[in-house]
Structure 1
Amino acid sequence: MTDSPSTPQALIVGVGPGLGLSLARKFGNEGFALTIAGRSEQKLAEFATQLRSEGLRVDTAIADAADPKGFQASLQELAGKITPSVVVYNAAIVASDNILTSDIDYLITNYNIDALGAIIAAQVFTPAMRHAGTGTFLTSGGYAYIDPYPAYATIALGKGGLRVATVLIHKELKDEGVHVASVTIAGGIEPGTAMAPELIADTFWELHTQPADEWTAETVFDGTK
C-alpha cells in the first residue's frame, strides 16, 4: 500500500510483544503509517508481519541504541526517508543487576539504551517538528527512579535520566508547538489487568491529542484511570 503525502507517520523505537506492539497498533489503527525500530531484524519482521495482517501500514528500521554513534547514524538515515509527526521512545533494558558489582561497560550500555537513546532520537527528529510548529515526542518512563531497588539498579538510573531529559526537552520545545512528555508507568505491565499494555498505549494517544494548554512533561499511569 502506498501512503499518500498527507498520511501521518509514527515512529516507535523499541518494540516488543507488550507495550511496543500495543503502541504501534494504537497509532496504526488511528490512521498512522508506522515505522518500528529496534536492534533485532528478525523480531521486527515478526512484529511487522503481525501488524500488516491486521491491515496496518508498517515499515521496519534497524537501530541499536546500545551503540550511540551507530544509533544516531541509523536514525539520521531514517530521517532522510520519513518525517514522523509522532516519535515514541520505548527502548529499555529491564534486568536484575547491582550498581556496585556490574561491569562498567554493562552500565554504559544499559544507560545508552534506557536514556541516552531518547536524547539522540530527539536531536534527530524534533528539528523537523520545530520547523513545522507541530509534533509529538513521547517517552516510556517508569517508577523505578522514585524508590530505587538495589536489585534493579540500571533501570532506576536509566528511567531517572530519561525523566530529566524529557522534562528538559519539554521545556525547550513546548512554546514551539512540539509536545514532549513521558508516560511514567507505575507498576508492572500485565495483559488482562488494569496495567494492560493496550490501556497504557491509549494514554500515549491521549497525550498526542491533548490540547496544548493542558501539556505537562509527565503523566503517571497507575491503572486507576
Structure 2
Amino acid sequence: MTTFALIGAGPGLGLASARRFGAAGHRVALVSRNARNQEQLVAELAGEGIDARGFTADVLDPASLTAGLDEAAAALGPVEILQFSPVPRADFMKPVLETTAADLGAPLAFSVLGPVTCVQAVLPGMRKLGRGTLLFVNGGSAVRPSPGVAGTSVAFAGESAYAAMLHEALAAENIHVAQLIVPGAIRPDAEHSSPRALAERLYALHAERGDFRHYAEPMPG
C-alpha cells in the first residue's frame, strides 16, 4: 500500500483530500505545524476506516519537511502522491508598492523552496515504485499577478514555473505533475470550489494524468 502525503493538513481542503485519497485505499500522511489539529483529523479519518497519521513539520523549515516526509514513508509506505497546498500567511499579501526585498524571503521560501524540498524528499520513492503524482494547488495570483498581493503573486509564479518544468521532465518516468488553480475562495457551498469538489478534482488529476494546468473555476475577466 502506498501513501498520500498532504502538505498543509487542515479541516477544509486538506481533510477533504485526505478523505478522498484515503477512500481510494492509500494511507494518509498529514503534514503540518499543528500536532493538535493533526490528532483531530486523524481521529475523524479513523472513524471512516482511513489509516492516517500526523507528522509535524514547518514548510519554512526544509530540514523538518524532509524529516517529516521521510518519517511518513518509513511508517506508512512509500509516498505515491504528494499534494502541496499549505495556506500562505496573511503577511505574504502586501500591496506591491509596500513590498520590500525582505518581505519576499518568506513567501519564496514557502512556495518555492518548500515544494523543491518536498519533491526531492519523495522523488526517490516514486522512482522506486515506477509511478507517482505531484499535485500543486494555487490561487489565481499564480497565473494572473495582482498588485494587491505581491508576495503570493511572485512566489506562486515561481512555484508554477518549477511545477511546469517537473511536468515535462518527469513524464517519461510515469510521474505526473499537475497544478490546480482555485481563482476565488474555497467555500463549502461552492459548486466547483468546495473542499469536496476540489478533492474530487484533485483525485481525477491523479487518476487521469492529463495536462499540467487546470482551473477549478473560470478566471474572472
TM-score under structure 1 normalisation? Answer: 0.86
Distance 1:112 1:53, change over 3 A: same
SS in 2 for 1:22: helix
Percent identical residues: 26
What residue is the counterpart of 2:49 in the other structure?
55
SS in 1 for 2:178: strand
* Contact 2:145–2:153 under 8 Å retained in 1: yes
Which of 139, 146, 149 is equivalent to 1:152? 149
Residue 70 (structure 1) shift: 3.2
What residue is the counterpart of 2:5 in the other structure?
11
* Contact 1:48–1:58 under 8 Å retained in 2: yes
1:171 aligned onto 2:168: yes
What residue is the counterpart of 1:203 in the other structure?
201
Q: Equivalents in 2 of 1:70, 1:190: separation in Å? A: 31
Q: Equivalents in 2 of 1:48, 1:105: separation in Å? A: 37
Give the count of matched residue pairs. 215
* Contact 1:79–1:124 under 8 Å retained in 2: no
Q: Equivalents in 1 of 2:87, 2:115: separation in Å? A: 10
Residue 20 (structure 1) shift: 1.1
* Contact 1:72–1:120 under 8 Å retained in 2: yes
What residue is the counterpart of 1:88 in the other structure?
83
Q: Equivalents in 2 of 1:166, 1:190: separation in Å? A: 26
What residue is the counterpart of 1:128 in the other structure?
125
Q: Equivalents in 1 of 2:173, 2:137: separation in Å? A: 22
Distance 1:27 1:186, change over 3 A: same
Distance 1:145 1:8, change over 3 A: closer
SS in 2 for 1:183: strand
What residue is the counterpart of 1:97 in the other structure?
94
Residue 136 (structure 1) shift: 1.1
1:40 aligned onto 2:34: yes
Which of 140, 144, 154 is equivalent to 1:143? 140
Q: Equivalents in 2 of 1:42, 1:36: separation in Å? A: 12
Q: Equivalents in 1 of 2:113, 2:78: separation in Å? A: 21
Q: Equivalents in 1 of 2:67, 2:42: separation in Å? A: 22
Distance 1:142 1:83, change over 3 A: same
What residue is the counterpart of 1:4 in the other structure?
none
TM-score under structure 2 normalisation? Answer: 0.88
Q: What residue ranges of structure 2 are gaps of 5+ in the alignment?
A: none
Higher helix content, 1 or 2: 2
What residue is the counterpart of 1:117 in the other structure?
114
Residue 14 (structure 1) shift: 0.6
Q: Equivalents in 1 of 2:98, 2:63: separation in Å? A: 27
SS in 2 for 1:209: helix
* Contact 1:115–1:162 under 8 Å retained in 2: yes
Q: Equivalents in 1 of 2:205, 2:142: separation in Å? A: 22
